[in-house]
C-alpha cells in the first residue's frame, strides 16, 4: 500500500490543490483519482492565473466567450465553472458513495469582496446556482467580514469552503459561523446536512518566521499550529451544541489542512503531509507534493486529539519573540491581499487575450 492509499485508509481525504484544463482533458486527474486516492480538488485565483496565463489551453474558449459578449469577471467565471464542472463530474461517484461527505471541488468568490459581506453572500449564491453541481464548494474567506457571509451562505444551503484561516482562534470563529447557519436551518425546519470544510493554512507560518527563529525551531511552527487546531476541532465536535446539531442531521464541518507544500528546499517535500494525518479531515496539496507523497511518502501516527506537545512548541516560539496572535492576523490580511493581486493579474491576462482576439477580428 503506497502512502496515498495509506493516508486515505487512515480517514484523511487527499485533495489536489490545482486545476487546469489539461489536467481534465489529458486524463491526468482521472488517473490521480484511480491510482492515488484523490477524492477532491481546490482552486484559487493564483491557480487560475497560472493555468490561463501560462498556456494556450483556454484560448479557444476565451475566443468563444468574447464573441458571445463576455468580458472580465464574467468571462473568467465561465471558464472556471466549465473546468470545475468537469472535475465535479469526475468526483461525482465519490460524492454519491460517501453520501455527500467527500468528492468536492471548490470555487472562490471574487477576492475583491473579502471585506464585503453582502457582496460575498450574493456572489456565493449566484456562483453555486450557475455551477449547478451539488459537490461544488464556494470558497469564502474566514475574515471578520467574511463570517456573516459564511453563516448566511450555509443557511441558504450553499456548501462553503472557509478559506484563509491561520490559527485555532480563526478556525473556531469560522466553525461557529457555520454552526449558526446550521442551527438556523434546523429552527426553520430545513435539512441540516449542508456540507462545509474549514481550511487552515500551514506552510506560510514557517515561511514568515524562518529568518527569525533558531535552527531547532525552523519548519515546526506550521505543524504545531495545525496540531493545536486539530485539538480545537476535536473539542468542538464533542460539545453538546454540535452533538445536538448532528442529531438533527447536520454533519461535521471538516478541518482541512491547506498550503501544505513545503517552501523550504532544505526540508522534506512531504513534511506537512506526514505530520498532519488525521481522520475526518482533509489535506489539499499541490500537484508536486502529491507526486512526492506517492513516490516516497511515509505515513505514521495520526495527530493526537489532545494537542500533544503543540502548546509547548508554540510557547518556544513566543519565547523566541514571535507574537503568534499578531502574526496570525497579519498572515490572514497578507493572504487576502495576495489573492487580490493574483485576481487583478488574472483579469489583466483575460483582458489581454480578449483584446488580441478582438483585434484579430
Catalytic residue numbers, as ranges: 139
> Among 196, 200, 303, which Cα is nearest to 252's?
196
What the block records as the C-alpha cell of 121 is: 453572500
Distance separating alpha carbons of residues 134 and 181, to the nearest angstrom: 18
Using CA atoms in the order 49, 54, 60, 64, what is the torsion angle rounded to 10 degrees?
20
Q: Would you say 166 and 225 are in contact if contact means Cβ atoms under 8 Å apart?
A: yes
> Among 76, 156, 150, which Cα is nearest to 114's?
150
CA distances from 143 to 50, 174, 212, 278 (A): 25, 9, 26, 25
Decide the pairing of beta strands 254-258 and 281-285: parallel
What radius of gyration do the chain's Cα atoms show? 20
Q: Would you say 124 and 153 are in contact if contact means Cβ atoms under 8 Å apart?
A: yes
CA distances from 225 to 70, 97, 258, 316 (A): 43, 32, 12, 13
What the block records as the C-alpha cell of 90 is: 469526475
Length of the chain (residues) = 361
Under DSSP, the state recorded for 140 is E
What the block records as the C-alpha cell of 62 is: 476565451
The helix (run of H) or strand (run of E) holding residue 149 is helix 146-155
CA 218 to chain centre: 25
Q: Would you say 164 and 225 are in contact if contact means Cβ atoms under 8 Å apart?
A: no
The helix (run of H) or strand (run of E) holding residue 14 is strand 12-17
> Among 175, 154, 179, which Cα is nearest to 165's?
175
Amino acid at each position: 500500500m503506497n502512502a496515498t492509499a495509506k493516508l486515505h485508509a487512515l480517514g484523511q481525504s487527499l485533495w489536489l490543490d490545482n486545476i487546469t484544463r489539461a489536467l481534465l482533458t489529458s486524463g491526468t486527474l482521472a488517473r490521480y483519482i484511480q491510482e492515488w486516492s484523490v477524492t477532491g480538488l481546490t482552486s484559487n485565483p493564483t491557480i487560475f492565473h497560472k493555468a490561463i496565463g501560462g498556456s494556450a489551453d483556454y484560448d479557444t474558449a476565451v475566443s468563444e466567450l468574447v464573441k458571445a459578449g463576455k468580458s472580465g469577471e464574467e468571462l473568467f467565471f465561465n471558464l472556471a465553472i466549465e473546468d470545475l464542472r468537469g472535475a465535479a463530474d469526475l468526483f461525482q461517484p465519490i460524492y454519491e458513495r460517501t453520501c455527500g461527505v467527500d468528492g468536492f471541488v471548490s470555487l472562490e468568490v471574487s477576492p475583491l469582496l473579502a471585506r464585503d459581506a453582502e457582496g460575498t453572500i450574493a456572489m456565493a449564491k449566484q456562483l453555486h446556482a450557475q455551477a449547478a453541481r451539488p459537490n461544488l464548494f464556494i470558497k469564502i474567506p474566514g475574515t471578520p467580514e467574511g463570517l456573516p457571509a459564511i453563516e448566511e451562505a450555509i443557511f441558504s444551503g450553499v456548501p462553503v469552503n472557509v478559506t484563509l484561516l491561520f490559527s485555532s482562534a480563526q478556525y473556531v470563529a469560522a466553525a461557529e459561523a457555520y454552526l449558526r447557519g446550521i442551527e438556523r436551518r434546523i429552527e426553520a425546519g430545513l435539512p441540516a446536512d449542508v456540507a462545509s470544510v474549514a481550511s487552515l493554512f500551514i506552510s506560510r507560518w514557517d515561511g514568515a518566521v524562518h529568518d527569525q527563529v533558531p535552527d531547532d525551531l525552523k519548519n515546526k511552527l506550521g505543524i504545531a499550529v495545525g496540531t493545536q487546531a486539530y485539538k480545537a476541532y476535536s473539542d468542538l465536535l464533542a460539545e453538546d451544541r454540535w452533538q445536538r446539531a448532528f442529531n438533527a442531521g447536520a454533519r461535521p464541518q471538516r478541518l482541512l489542512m491547506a498550503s501544505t507544500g513545503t517552501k523550504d528546499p532544505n526540508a522534506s517535500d512531504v513534511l506537512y503531509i506526514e505530520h498532519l494525518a488525521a481522520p475526518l479531515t482533509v489535506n489539499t496539496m499541490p500537484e508536486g507534493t502529491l507526486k512526492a507523497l506517492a513516490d516516497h511518502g511515509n505515513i505514521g501516527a495520526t495527530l493526537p486529539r489532545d494537542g500533544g506537545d503543540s502548546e509547548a512548541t508554540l510557547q518556544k516560539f513566543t519565547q523566541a519573540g514571535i507574537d503568534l496572535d499578531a502574526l496570525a492576523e497579519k498572515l490572514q490580511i497578507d493572504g487576502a491581499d495576495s489573492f487580490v493581486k493574483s485576481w487583478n493579474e488574472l483579469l489583466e491576462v483575460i483582458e489581454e487575450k480578449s483584446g488580441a482576439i478582438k483585434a484579430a477580428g
